[in-house]
Amino acid sequence: MTHISTPGAGLKLRGLVKRYGGTAAVEHVDLDVASGEFLTLLGPSGSGKTTTLSMVAGFTEPTDGSVVIDGQEITKVPPHKRGLGMVFQNYSLFSHLSVRENVEFPLRQRKVAKAERTRRAMEALELVELQGRAEAKPSQLSGGQQQRVALARALVFNPRLLLMDEPFGALDRALRERLQIELRRLHHELGITVVFVTHDQEEALTLSDRIAVFNEGRIEQIGTPRELYEKPASLFVARFIGESNAFTGQVSQGTFVSNAGVRIPTTAPDGASVAIVRPERVQVLDPAVTATQSGLEGRVNDVTYLGAQHRIEVNTDDGPVIIRSDTRLPLAERGARIALSWEATDAAIFPVQEQPIETSNPWTATLAQSTSS
Amino acid sequence: MNESTRVRLPIKLWVGVAALLLVAPTLIVVPLSFTNKRSFSFPIEGWSLQWYEHFFTNDRWIGSLISSLWIAVVVGVIATVLGTLAALGLRGLRSRLSGVAQVVMLLPILIPGIVAAIAIFGMYLRWGLSGSPLGIIVAHTTLALPFVLIPVSTALRGFDDTITRAAAVLGAGPVARFLQVQLPILLPGIATGFVFAFVTSLDEVVISYFLQSPTLRTLPVQMYGSVTVETDPSIAAASTLLLVLSTIIILIPRLAQVVNERRAANRRGDSE
């Protein structure tokens, strides 16, 4: 690869606020992105992640706060002077230009000589394996190819920060996964800093070094995918990332008691609370043999074989519970009565205000959140 | 492809008849212009080019053709620039304001030509614009504006703003964004607008009739004068020329498109 890899830029957002009329789209966002890092802004639609990206790009002027790239404040700099690469959800290729001319566009703006321009454009197209379609018009390419052209166009001038706004949102699943792998490879090869926006938590987990989870204009939590999954800082994060079982109940004097009487020791403060347990942390026990720690029993409603795991749905007094268990373990029969157990440390307990969260069907609830946008 | 081959014969015939009915009255002047008689008689008994010769050697005819052409070009250019700017501006306005502004600019289509002509004539007498090319150009531009506004607005409606954003973030300043991205994408709509503006001015009779002077007559006015004063087949020659001219102008964008597609197809052939 002849590409000179320039180290990625560092990005700092300080107290970023955007209000439209009275309503705040983004409310006090602080964020540090390290050089070469792949950071994802994750959240449901309307959570402020796209507005935040738009302020980094310079399309939206912040009501308050600052955007700093490599120590330089650029809050008031217009987008064409920021030198950023950007990829949009709808590709945004110039339909009147050929693929090569599209990729040459940023170089043309930078007054690069014709021969050099073409050479570098072809090099960038090679990077996304589209050098053979250089003279085609964008409309002659498939969606995935168009997005790769957009990526080449965003990278051709060696920007140090790449912004991506739901770039794979319009593509089908298989293609999306292929492009995700390609993007990871490019990120490793080029050492560029990437800020990526998505509402798809799976995509965020796959791609990111770190994820900032947005909710109602604020960042709920920033951390590595593992931290977010294993140590969610709030109920919102716990429910938004990954599959989870939720039990509503009360904490009093160091013990959480669910509506059906499941007890979990905790350090959480007293009051109405929700306990979250990941499906793979729930163990299946034979009720005849073991008295369970949690005291929860149920009847197996459905068992799905998923290769490495079984996905078991159990109806309990606390509502349906999902279990993911190793397929090497003996299989629970449909209709069988089983006992459920987990380590107290595998349950995360969060206080809830006013609105109790309905636990009737935790998996459709998490699904609905991660797919709606 | 399949759809069109399945169209049955009766439908084809019906389309043919309808097209003929629409075009026949216009086409009848074409053979008439080649008659060797001094009157409009049909069928033609003998052929001659004398009326074309007369047209091109008579100062009044050739003068009016030249007036018509240069006025139409100027009107086309002014209306295209103003109409395009208006369409861009309307887009930036708040929706209610933009609706009102759009209707106001489309009014010239709705007002009967004779009413507009009398009103303009009255104002021009006061301003001293009657009989001047400037007067006709201004009046025609007003008439032609909607014909630019409509196609350019339509082209803009299909224009995605993130394209401009993409251009901006990739380093294009406001001028480069307009010239290198917006304008080329809107060009087909703008070209259509120019053609319609040109033809609108070229064909306009009523206002031009009111605003004529002995030294300034557009071709349609000259034709109208000729048909009421003298019955001379020169008018058939003039009609034929006007017909051919309008048709060519209207076909130019379509031809350009075909040529472009050919070229693109060739290029595709080369790259594969």
Closest chain A CA to residue B162: A92
For position A362, what pLDDT does the model report? 43
Region A218-240: mean pLDDT is 92
Question: Taking Cα atoms as reference points, which of A168, A199, A170, A201 lies closest to residue A183?
Answer: A168
The per-residue pLDDT for range B132-187, each reduced to its tens digit, is 889 999 999 999 999 999 999 998 888 888 899 999 999 999 999 999 999 998 98
Region B45-74: mean pLDDT is 88
Give the rounded distance of the alpha carbon of B227 from its chain centre. Answer: 24
Q: Which helix (H) or strand (E) holds B214?
A: none
The per-residue pLDDT for range B90-101, each reduced to its tens digit, is 887 777 888 888
Predicted TM-score (pTM) of the model is: 0.76
For position A361, what pLDDT does the model report? 43
Tell whether A167 lies on the interface with B, counting CB pairs under 8 A. no
- The shortest C-alpha distance from A190 to chain B (Å) reads 18
Tokens of B68: 């018509």
A320 — phi, psi (to 5°)?
A: -70, 145
Tell whether A140 lies on the interface with B, counting CB pairs under 8 A. yes
Query: Where is average pLDDT lowest: A37-41, A136-140, A294-298, B74-78?
Result: A294-298
Residue B162 contacts residue A92 (beta carbons within 8 Å): yes
Answer yes or no: do B160 and A92 touch at CB < 8 A: yes
Query: Where is average pLDDT lowest: A193-202, A261-270, B160-169?
Result: A261-270
Tell whether A57 lies on the interface with B, counting CB pairs under 8 A. yes
Tokens of B115: 């009413």
**Cross-strand bridge partners of residue A247:** A275
A338 — phi, psi (to 5°)?
A: -130, 160
Looking at the predicted structure, is the pLDDT value of residue A8 above 50?
yes
Looking at the predicted structure, is the pLDDT value of residue A200 above 80?
yes
Question: In which band, very low, low, confident or very high, does the pLDDT at A208 lie, cut at 50, 70 and 90?
Answer: very high
- B167 contacts in chain A (CB < 8 Å): 94, 105
* Alpha carbon distances (Å) from B4 to A128, A220, B9, B11: 40, 59, 11, 11
Share of residues in chain B with pLDDT > 90 (%) = 34
Greater model confidence, A294 or B266:
B266
Looking at the predicted structure, is the pLDDT value of residue A110 above 60?
yes
Which DSSP category does B37 fall into? S
Looking at the predicted structure, is the pLDDT value of residue A3 above 80?
no
Region A67-86: mean pLDDT is 92
Looking at the predicted structure, is the pLDDT value of residue A212 above 60?
yes
Tokens of B185: 């994408």
Answer yes or no: do B271 and A95 touch at CB < 8 A: no
Q: Which amino acid is at B39?
A: S
Residue A276 contacts residue A350 (beta carbons within 8 Å): yes
Tell whether A5 lies on the interface with B, counting CB pairs under 8 A. no
Region B255-269: mean pLDDT is 73
Longest dimension (CA), chain A: 80
- B169 contacts in chain A (CB < 8 Å): 57-59, 79-80, 82, 84-86, 163
Region A155-178: mean pLDDT is 90
Q: Which amino acid is at B41?
A: S
Answer yes or no: do A59 and B171 touch at CB < 8 A: no
- B162 contacts in chain A (CB < 8 Å): 88, 90, 92
Distance between CA atoms of residues A236 and A238, nearest Å: 5
For position B140, what pLDDT does the model report? 94
Give the end-to-end CA distance of chain A in Å, rounded to a whole number: 38
Looking at the predicted structure, is the pLDDT value of residue A360 above 50?
no
Answer yes or no: do A57 and B169 touch at CB < 8 A: yes
A347 — phi, psi (to 5°)?
A: -100, 130
Region B224-246: mean pLDDT is 83
Tell whether A158 lies on the interface with B, counting CB pairs under 8 A. no
- The shortest C-alpha distance from B95 to chain A (Å) reads 18
- B186 contacts in chain A (CB < 8 Å): none
Question: In which band, very low, low, confident or very high, does the pLDDT at A288 lie, cut at 50, 70 and 90?
Answer: low
Looking at the predicted structure, is the pLDDT value of residue A2 above 50?
no
Closest chain A CA to residue B270: A135
Query: Where is average pLDDT lowest: A74-83, A229-238, A328-337?
Result: A328-337
Task: Provide the Cα torsion B80, B82, B87, B88; round to 10°.
Answer: 110
Distance between CA atoms of residues A264 and A247, nearest Å: 11
Answer yes or no: do A80 and B171 touch at CB < 8 A: yes
Region B13-23: mean pLDDT is 91
- A137 contacts in chain B (CB < 8 Å): 264
A216 burial (CB, 10 Å; 0-12 / 13-18 / 19+) is middle
- The shortest C-alpha distance from A369 to chain B (Å) reads 27
Answer yes or no: do A86 and B176 touch at CB < 8 A: no
- The shortest C-alpha distance from B271 to chain A (Å) reads 7
Greater model confidence, A100 or A2:
A100
Greater model confidence, A298 or A294:
A298
Of B165, B171, B184, the CB nearest to A106: B171
Looking at the predicted structure, is the pLDDT value of residue B246 above 80?
yes
For position A18, what pLDDT does the model report? 93
Instruction: Give me the interface pTM, i.e. the ipTM.
Output: 0.77
Of B172, B185, B187, the CB nearest to A109: B172
- B166 contacts in chain A (CB < 8 Å): 86, 88, 92, 94
Looking at the predicted structure, is the pLDDT value of residue A247 above 70?
yes
Residue A48 contacts residue A29 (beta carbons within 8 Å): yes
Looking at the predicted structure, is the pLDDT value of residue A144 above 70?
yes
Answer yes or no: do A134 and B184 touch at CB < 8 A: no
Region B24-40: mean pLDDT is 81
Distance between CA atoms of residues A85 and B250, nearest Å: 42
Closest chain A CA to residue B186: A96
Question: Taking Cα atoms as reference points, which of B152, B139, B158, B245 lies closest to residue B194?
Answer: B152
Question: How big is the CA angle at A26 (ends A25 and A29), to the nearest 5 degrees?
Answer: 175
Tell whether A94 lies on the interface with B, counting CB pairs under 8 A. yes
For position A319, what pLDDT does the model report? 86
Question: Taking Cα atoms as reference points, which of A267, A272, A292, A274 lies closest to residue A282?
Answer: A292
Share of residues in chain A with pLDDT > 90 (%) = 48
The per-residue pLDDT for range A27-36, each reduced to its tens digit, is 999 999 999 9
For position A99, what pLDDT does the model report? 95
Looking at the predicted structure, is the pLDDT value of residue A130 above 60?
yes
The per-residue pLDDT for range A161-172, each reduced to its tens digit, is 999 999 998 888
Answer yes or no: do B267 and A135 touch at CB < 8 A: yes
Greater model confidence, A179 or A330:
A179
Looking at the predicted structure, is the pLDDT value of residue B197 above 90?
yes
A–B CB contacts, 8 A cutoff, strictly below: 75
Question: In which band, very low, low, confident or very high, does the pLDDT at A215 lie, cut at 50, 70 and 90?
Answer: very high
Answer yes or no: do B268 and A136 touch at CB < 8 A: yes
